[in-house]
Amino acid sequence: MLNVLFVVIIGFITIAIFDAIGAILSRKLNFNYALLTIGSISIYATIAVYTAIYGGILIGIISSFLMGLFDATVGLKISEKFKANIPDKSITFKIDFKTVFAVSIFATVIGTIAILLIL
């Protein structure tokens, strides 16, 4: 169980660093921050697979949900703090239930697919 917790913490740290660096680069290099979604997808999938290896499929799926939850809350605040380049002005950095739920479910689906493909 300690391995699972370690992997989840590594996932949170990775998301935080990825969001910070991505936000800075998107602003400095003038590209749409949303293009970095593929990186988030990779993190969700990787953490899900590794936690599934150590704790079982259900733990892997739960961990991918937690990655999405973290990304939609803390990650969003990090992106806002570092002024991510989001050209679509209708998109805000407001954290609301609908966004958090959608991102968490999206991460869960990605994690589940990754687990089923790899394990």
**pTM for this prediction:** 0.94
Q: Which of 17-21, 52-56, 88-92 has the lowest mean pLDDT?
A: 88-92
CA 95 to chain centre: 15
Q: Which residues of 7-44 are buried (b: 16+ CB within 10 A; e: fewer)?
A: bbeebbebbbebbbebbebbeeeeeebeebeeebbebb
pLDDT of 93 reads 72
DSSP per position, 37-106: HHHHHHHHHHHHHHHHHHH-HHHHHHHHHHHHHHIIIIIHHHHHHTT-----TT------HHHHHHHHHH
33-49, pLDDT tens digit by residue? 999 999 999 999 999 99
Percent of the chain with pLDDT over 90: 89
